[in-house]
Amino acid sequence: MIELHLLILVIVVSFGFVFSYLAMKEHDLLKALALSSVQSTFFALGFYILAAPDIVLAYLAIAVGAYTALVILAISKTERYEVGE
């Protein structure tokens, strides 16, 4: 039968997918960045359920901290709103 942790894994990663989709559709780049870091938090939970704590430690620090900061620096050198279409 389905084990409980696999069920939690599916729920958590589905939330991650939802947030990554929202991040893709967002035209305000800073908001998209915030959504994408929420998505990485869910994926980090997924990695924890998959018993990979080493990955969790690196993934959280990189995806929520370093990656977000790099992209904010990149946005500060261009424009905040995505235009077109």
Partner 1 sequence: MKRDALVAASFLIAFIFIAYVVTVKNILGLGGEELRPLSEFYLSHAFAHEGLTSHSPEVVTAIVWNYRGFDTLFETFVFFLAIMGALSILRLDREQLEHARELEGSMPHRQMDLIVKATTKLVVVMIIAISASIALHGHLTPGGGFQGGSAMAVAALLLFAAFSKFTLERRGLTLKHTISAYAAGLALILATILAPVVLYGGKVLEINLLPGETGLFNLDVGEYTAVTFGFLTVFLILGIPEWVFKNILRRELND
Exposure of 20 in the CB half-sphere (CA atoms within 13 A): 12
Q: How far is the CB of 24 from partner 1 (least distance, A)?
A: 10
Identify which of residues 53 and 81 has a Cβ nearer to partner 1 in the complex: 53
Encoded tokens for 52: 């990979």
Indicate the residue among 61 and 81 with the shorter CB distance to partner 1: 61
25-54 burial, b if ≥16 CB within 10 A, otherwise e?
Answer: ebeebeebbebbbbbbbbbbbbbbeeeeee
The residue ranges that bind partner 1 (CB under 8 A) are 2, 6, 9-10, 13-14, 17-18, 21, 25, 53-54, 57-58, 61-62, 64-66, 69-70, 73-74, 76-77
CB of 37 to partner 1, least distance (A): 12
Rg (C-alpha) for the chain, rounded Å, is 15
Nearer Cβ to partner 1, position 28 or 58?
Answer: 58
